[in-house]
Structure 1
Amino acid sequence: MEYSITLPASQQPMTIRDLLEKEWLVPRKVRHFLRVRKNVLLNHETAMFHQEIKAGDVITLRLEETDYQYQDIHLGNKKTIQPLFEDEHIILVNKPAGVKTHPNQPDETDTLLNDLAAYLAEKQQRAYVVHRLDKETSGVILFAKNPLVLPILGRLLEQKTIYRRYQAVVWGKLTKNSTITKKIGRDRHDRRKRVIDERKGKTAITHLEVHAVQQKTSEVYCVLDTGRTHQIRVHLASIGHPIVGDPLYQNKKGKRLLLHASEMFLVHPFTKEQMHVTAKPGLWE
Structure 2
Amino acid sequence: MEYSIVLPHSQKKMTLRELLENEWLIPRKVRHFLRIRKNVWRNHQPIKFHELVYANDIITLRIEKEDYSYQKVKAGFKEKLNILYEDEHLIIVNKAAGIKTHPNQPEETGTLLNDLTAYLAEKNTQPYVVHRLDKETSGAILFAKNPLVLPILGRLLEKKKIYRYYQAIVWGKLTQNCTIDKKIGRDRHDQRKRIINEHRGKTAITYVKVHQANEQNSKVYCRLATGRTHQIRVHLASIGHPIVGDPLYQNKKEKRLALHAYEMQLLHPFTQEQITVVANPGLW
Given the two structures, how large is their TM-score scaled by the length of structure 1? 0.93
Corresponding residue SS for 1:93:
strand
- 2 CA distance for matches of 1:249 and 1:33? 46
Cα displacement (A) at 1:168: 0.3
- 2 CA distance for matches of 1:270 and 1:264? 18
Q: Deviations over 1:229-264 (max 9, x none)?
A: 111111111111111110000111011100000000
User: Hey, what does 1:52 align to over in structure 2?
Assistant: 52
User: Hey, what does 2:177 align to over in structure 1?
Assistant: 177
User: Hey, what does 2:190 align to over in structure 1?
Assistant: 190
Distance of aligned partners of 1:12 and 1:212 in 2 relative to their CA distance in 1, 3 Å threshold: same
What is the total number of aligned residue pairs between the two structures?
Answer: 284
User: Hey, what does 2:262 align to over in structure 1?
Assistant: 262
Cα displacement (A) at 1:7: 1.0
Q: Deviations over 1:112-154 (max 9, x none)?
A: 1111111101111111111111110000000111111111111
Q: Deviations over 1:201-231 (max 9, x none)?
A: 1111111111112451110001111111111
Cα displacement (A) at 1:38: 4.6
Pair 1:15 & 2:15 matched: yes
Aligned CA RMSD, in angstroms, stands at 1.8
Pair 1:105 & 2:108 matched: no
User: Hey, what does 1:240 align to over in structure 2?
Assistant: 240
Identify the range of structure 1 (174-183 vs 16-25) with the bigger mean alpha-carbon deviation. 16-25
- 2 CA distance for matches of 1:95 and 1:143? 12
One-letter amino acid of the structure 1 residue matched with residue 201 of structure 2:
G
Identify the range of structure 1 (42-51 vs 245-254) with the bigger mean alpha-carbon deviation. 42-51
Pair 1:154 & 2:164 matched: no
Corresponding residue SS for 1:41:
strand
User: Hey, what does 1:64 align to over in structure 2?
Assistant: 64
Distance of aligned partners of 1:48 and 1:185 in 2 relative to their CA distance in 1, 3 Å threshold: closer
Structure 2: gaps of 5 or more residues: none
Cα displacement (A) at 1:48: 3.7
- 2 CA distance for matches of 1:23 and 1:74? 35
- 2 CA distance for matches of 1:35 and 1:239? 51
Q: Deviations over 1:26-56 (max 9, x none)?
A: 4566545545655422113333444321121
Q: 2:83·2:94 contact (CA, 8 Å) conserved in 1?
A: yes
Corresponding residue SS for 1:223:
strand
Corresponding residue SS for 1:155:
helix
Distance of aligned partners of 1:124 and 1:177 in 2 relative to their CA distance in 1, 3 Å threshold: same
One-letter amino acid of the structure 1 residue matched with residue 207 of structure 2:
H
One-letter amino acid of the structure 2 residue matched with residue 93 of structure 1:
V
- 1 CA distance for matches of 2:252 and 2:182? 24
Identify the range of structure 1 (38-47 vs 144-153) with the bigger mean alpha-carbon deviation. 38-47
Corresponding residue SS for 1:117:
helix
Structure 1: gaps of 5 or more residues: none
Task: Give the ranges of 4+ consecutive aligned residues of structure 1 lying more than 4 Å apart after TM superposition.
Answer: 25-38
One-letter amino acid of the structure 1 residue matched with residue 245 of structure 2:
G
Identify the range of structure 1 (53-62 vs 260-269) with the bigger mean alpha-carbon deviation. 53-62
1:137-152 paired onto structure 2 within 5 Å: 137-152=137-152
Identify the range of structure 1 (34-43 vs 106-115) with the bigger mean alpha-carbon deviation. 34-43
- 2 CA distance for matches of 1:200 and 1:50? 45
Q: Deviations over 1:255-278 (max 9, x none)?
A: 110000000011111011222110
- 2 CA distance for matches of 1:231 and 1:36? 42
Identical residues among aligned pairs (%): 71
Given the two structures, how large is their TM-score scaled by the length of structure 2? 0.93
One-letter amino acid of the structure 2 residue matched with residue 64 of structure 1:
E
Corresponding residue SS for 1:166:
strand
Corresponding residue SS for 1:232:
helix
- 1 CA distance for matches of 2:257 and 2:64? 43
- 1 CA distance for matches of 2:131 and 2:43? 34
Pair 1:230 & 2:230 matched: yes
- 2 CA distance for matches of 1:173 and 1:24? 44
User: Hey, what does 1:212 align to over in structure 2?
Assistant: 212
User: Hey, what does 2:200 align to over in structure 1?
Assistant: 200
Q: Deviations over 1:81-126 (max 9, x none)?
A: 1110000001000011111111112221111111111110111111
One-letter amino acid of the structure 1 residue matched with residue 219 of structure 2:
E
One-letter amino acid of the structure 2 residue matched with residue 114 of structure 1:
N
Pair 1:250 & 2:250 matched: yes
